[in-house]
Structure 1
Amino acid sequence: MKYLILIATFFTTFAMAQNKKVTSSTINWWGYKVAKTAASSHTGTIDLKSGYFVVKGKSVTGGSFVFDMNSLTSTDLSGGTLEKFNGHLKNGDFFETEKFPLASYVITSISKSNNAAFPFMINGNLTVKGITKKVSFPAKLTLGKVLTLESDKFSFNRQDFNVEYQSAMKDVVIKNDIDMKINLTAN
Structure 2
Amino acid sequence: MKSIIKTLALVTLVVFFTLSFTTIDGDKKEIKIENSKVVWKGYKVTGSHEGTIAIKTGSLTFEADRLIGGEFEIDMTTISATDLEGNWKSKLDGHLKSDDFFGVETFPTAKLVFTSVEASGKNAYKVTGDLTIKGKTNPVVFTISVYGNKANASIKIDRSKYDVRYGSTSFFDNLQDKAIYDEFDLVTDLEF
TM-score normalized by the length of structure 2? 0.79
Runs of 4+ in 1 over 4 A off after TM superposition: 169-172
1:185 equivalent to 2:191? Answer yes
Instruction: Note closer, same or farther for the CA distance 1:170–1:96 as it changes in structure 2 (3 Å cut).
Output: farther
Question: Which amino acid in structure 2 is aligned with residue 47 of structure 1?
Answer: A
1:128 equivalent in structure 2: 133
User: Counterpart in 2 of 1:111?
Assistant: 118
1:37-81 Cα offsets, whole Å, 9 max, x none, are xxx000011000001111112211101100000000000011111
- From 1, 17, 27, the counterpart of 1:18: 27
Q: Give the greater-gyration-radius structure (CA).
A: 2
Aligned counterpart, 1:137: 142
Task: Give the CA deviation at 1:184.
Answer: 1.0
Cα shift readout 1:124-168 (whole Å, capped 9, x = no counterpart): 1110000011111122112x4x3x2111x4311100000111793
Name the aligned partner's letter for residue 101 of structure 1: P
Aligned: 1:155 with 2:160: no
User: Residue 164 of structure 2: SS of its match in structure 1?
Assistant: coil
1: CA distance, partners of 2:28 / 2:164:
32
Q: 1:170 to 1:74 in 2, by over 3 A?
A: farther
Summarize the alignment of residues 24-173 of structure 1 with structure 2, pairs less than 5 Å apart: 24-34=35-45, 40-113=47-120, 119-142=124-147, 144=148, 146=149, 148-151=150-153, 153-165=154-166, 168=172, 170=175, 173=179
**Aligned-pair identity (%):** 33
SS at match of 1:113: strand
Provide the rounded CA distance (Å) in 2 between the counterparts of 1:112 and 1:54: 14
Q: How many residues align?
A: 174
- The AA in structure 1 aligned to 2:164 is V
Q: What is aligned with 2:5?
A: none
Secondary structure in structure 2 of the residue aligned to 1:80 = helix
Mapped to 1, the partners of 2:133 and 2:71 lie a distance apart of: 14
In the TM superposition, residue 112 of structure 1 has moved relative to its aligned partner by 3.2
Following superposition, the deviation at residue 185 of structure 1 comes to 1.1
Give me the whole-angstrom Cα distance separating, in 2, the residues matched to 1:136 and 1:149.
16
Deviations 1:77-113 (A, max 9, x none): 1111111110000001100000000001011122233
Which residue identity lines up with residue 103 of structure 1 in the other structure?
A: A
Q: Which residue of 2 aligns with 1:176?
A: 182
Displacement of 1:29 after TM fit?
0.7
Q: For structure 2, list consecutive stretches of 5 or more residues without a partner in the other structure.
A: 1-9
Structure 2 CA distance for aligned equivalents of residues 5 and 113 of structure 1: 33
In structure 1, list runs of 5 or more residues that go unmatched: none
Aligned residue for 1:27, secondary structure, equals strand
- Compute the TM-score of the two structures, normalised by the length of structure 1: 0.81
> What amino acid maps onto 1:30 in structure 2?
K
